[in-house]
Amino acid sequence: MNNFSTEYQIRINTVDQYMKKALEPYSDCEAVLIDSMNYSVFNGGKRIRSILCMETARMLSGSAEKAMPFAAAIEFIHAFSLVHDDLPCMDNADLRRGMPSCHKKYGEAIALLAGDALLNTAFELMTEECKKGNIATIEAMASVGRACGVHGMINGQIRDIELMASKEATEEKLIRLIEHKTMALMMTSVECGALVSGADKNTVADLVDFAYNLGIAFQIRDDFEDEAEDGEDAQNSPNFINTLGRELARARMSAYARKAKDIISGYAGNEFILGLLEFLFDK
Ligand code: GRG
């Protein structure tokens, strides 16, 4: 795609506008709650998950409209997970997206509640869509629930804590960890986009496989970014670079990204997603 960065920015603006509107009904609540929620969502962010959801729907049905409540909800959940991940009892991170993390700016109690509020807002948003009566939207919401629940991000975070303590990371253990911690939300993003577009079971499964491969490649890319940003801190965490070495980690990232590309290449209207893969992995 020639004008990828312009097209990418258009999609970021679309999801940001949608999320701003979705938060408007809460403006009568305590100012610090609304401020901390907004601070945690509108502070940069690549919007990869929401855009994957929107673009899957656009690719399959020609429109991202039906996917918007799910795209926004998933982005709220992602923001929530980052706020909680940064807390002193988790990663204890002072910075997020180059700015003070939510608890550094608002204190721990407010950050905890801002995260909880974003999670609940996500489900309120999806429920409103489900009330319209399309069964596929209920399946989509159930998929999001699984992805951020006990069979998803929470279990992934527990695996992370345990692996960090045991210091016995292997490639297999890392994949099991990120399947829940990182990839679950990416897979549900694509699954929601496919479900609300009326895709059949095989197509949904094929696209979830695309997101699986993209998700592993994305986590390895994230490990390289963390290494560049955090230096020594990143050397202590269980990640692909520390476990495989730089060269093999990069080779794995390319191989998973190539698998994702192979799958998505079979779909008409895939231009933006192919551009996104190039943006993420071919630099
Ligand atoms: C979320 C239910 C739930 C519980 C919290 C804290 C926690 C359990 C899970 C942590 C999940 C987590 C923080 C995963 C990190 C995944 C990851 C690669 C984050 C970076 O994603 P990007 O690069 O970030 O898309 P931006 O800033 O671009 O949005």
Query: Which domains does the chain possess?
Result: 4-281 (1.10.600.10)
- Please check the confidence at residue 225 and state whether its pLDDT lies above 80: yes
Q: Say if ligand 1 is within 6 A of residue 137 CB.
A: no
The DSSP 8-state label assigned to residue 42 in this structure reads: S
Strands 99-100 and 95-96: antiparallel
- Please check the confidence at residue 231 and state whether its pLDDT lies above 70: no
The residues pairing with 283 across neighbouring beta strands, listed in sequence order, are none
Q: Say if ligand 1 is within 6 A of residue 85 CB.
A: yes
Least Cα distance to 224 among 253, 198, 196 occurs for: 253
pLDDT on residue 234 = 64
pTM score, two decimals?
0.96
CA distance to 49, 70, 244, per residue, from 199 (Å): 19, 16, 37
In angstroms, what is the span from residue 216 Cα to ligand 1's centroid? Answer: 14
d(CA 137, CA 130): 5
**Atom 27 of ligand 1, nearest CA residue:** 45
Residue by residue, DSSP assigns 1-29 as -TTHHHHHHHHHHHHHHHHHHHHGGGTTS
In angstroms, what is the span from residue 261 Cα to ligand 1's centroid? Answer: 23
Give the pLDDT confidence of 58-67 residue by residue, as tens digits: 999 999 999 9
Residues 170-204: b if buried by 16+ CB within 10 A, e if exposed: eeebbeebbbbbbbbbbbbbbbbbbbbbebeeeeb
Give the pLDDT confidence of 37-78 residue by residue, as tens digits: 999 999 899 999 999 999 999 999 999 999 999 999 999 999
Give the pLDDT confidence of 107-151 residue by residue, as tens digits: 999 999 999 999 999 999 999 999 999 999 999 999 999 999 999
Give the pLDDT confidence of 185-196 residue by residue, as tens digits: 999 999 999 999
Residues 6-39: b if buried by 16+ CB within 10 A, e if exposed: eebeebeebbbebbeebbeeeeeeeeeebebbbb
Q: Say if ligand 1 is within 6 A of residue 261 CB.
A: no
In angstroms, what is the span from residue 78 Cα to ligand 1's centroid? Answer: 6
